[in-house]
Amino acid sequence: MDTSNAPTAPEALISQFQVTKLLRQDQAGRRISLLGTINNEQGILTAERTALPTESLDTIQAFHAAISRVKNLGDNDIYRWYLASSNNTNNNGPNSNGNDLKLNLIWPCTTSHIKKYSSQQLRMVTETPAIYKTHIHPYMRAKREEGRLNWVFNILEGRTEQEDVILRDEGGPNGAQDAFLMLPDLNWDRETMGSLHLLALVQRRDIWSLRDLRKAHVPWLKYLRERVLDGTVGMYPGVERDMLKLYVHYQPTYYHFHVHVVNVMLEAGTTQATGKAFGLENLISQLEGLAGDESASLADVDLTYFLGEASELWTDIFEPLKQGKEPGQ
């Protein structure tokens, strides 16, 4: 895609966004994901507040037209996030400046983004070690080679979002091998402690997902856990260690190992549900209990999780397997 024209101010992109379709409404009606275009290129705009209108396309477009006081919080690659006002005179938003919306914009977006943000039937699948080795790991490699991790590497290598990094740990006993950094998740408004959501991105690039974790990694994972908890408590007064939940997604949105850090009071939506979120402490215990030497790995166990029917993992791998067919044929 050609996006080489003169750069547009981040705030201006919101008013240029042309709404074409509602992709999904979730979080008990507080969040909607909209498909639209900017300069004829597709994008996804996610808006969140206490209640959002979805009765018709006209009401959705009216809601979008009323967005004002857009404040850019940051941007990285195709991802941008904002605070804004819905022009609601009865503004009961959590922010003292009157901004009652947290906006996320993905632009330009891909077909995969549209599938991810669209409402769809979920399916529970069991991924055996054989399925992982034969089908899932090659899929992961292909996605990594598509350049989808550029935004992660931009952060880790100090090119973007450095003002948002709240902790940069240079590593423990193994030095750079243990290093990681923490920053706010793009879905957090950065003010409401009850919905605190941080990400810990590891510097090492040999661990794509929890499948790559081995028994030998237990000391590193325990170090990571302690440093993440200490760093979060040190950064946010009033937050205590037992008020935090640490988990890893499988399947993750991107294949670079990262840990989610959330307030235990945060509404446990789909992203924290069984079949999606795997507690870090439980992963450590599972690794410690694996039979065998230090090379024993989570690649050698069955994992059960859910997928959307629009996911390539379902359409290209698990649905054919369910039908008794070989994926790719």
Domain annotation covers residue 14 = yes
pTM listed for this prediction? 0.81
Domain annotation covers residue 329 = no
d(CA 117, CA 278): 21
Contacts of 312 (CB under 8 A, 6+ apart): 112, 115, 139
Q: Domain end: 41, 76, 104, which one?
A: 104
User: Is 44 in the same domain as 97?
Assistant: yes
User: Is 76 in the same domain as 173?
Assistant: no
Domain annotation covers residue 109 = no
Of 249, 256, 258, 260, the catalytic one is 258
Helix H or strand E encompassing 293 = none
Q: Coil, helix or strand for 114?
A: helix
Residue 315 CA to chain centroid, in angstroms?
Answer: 22
Residue 270's pLDDT is 79
Task: Tally the domains of the chain.
Answer: 2
User: Both ends of the chain: CA-CA distance in Å?
Assistant: 31
Residue 269's pLDDT is 76
Domain of 188 in residue numbering reads as 120-323
Domain annotation covers residue 111 = no
User: Is 130 in the same domain as 228?
Assistant: yes
Domain annotation covers residue 112 = no
- Helices 218-235 and 280-289: angle between axes, nearest 10 degrees: 160
d(CA 79, CA 113): 11
User: Is 92 in the same domain as 129?
Assistant: no
- State the CATH number of the domain containing residue 28: 3.30.200.40
- State the CATH number of the domain containing residue 262: 3.30.428.10
Domain annotation covers residue 173 = yes
d(CA 43, CA 40): 9
Catalytic residue check, 249: no
For residue 246, how many other CB atoms are within 10 A of its CB? 20
Q: Each residue's pLDDT tens digit in the chain (329 positions)?
A: 555 556 778 899 999 999 999 998 765 456 789 999 999 999 999 998 655 678 889 989 998 998 999 998 888 888 898 989 887 544 444 444 567 788 999 999 999 899 889 989 999 999 999 999 999 999 999 999 988 888 899 899 888 888 889 999 998 888 888 999 999 998 888 888 888 999 999 999 999 999 999 999 999 999 999 999 999 999 999 999 999 999 999 999 999 999 999 999 887 777 888 899 999 999 999 999 999 999 999 999 999 999 999 999 999 999 999 999 999 87
Domain annotation covers residue 5 = no
DSSP state of 231: H
User: Is 183 in the same domain as 246?
Assistant: yes
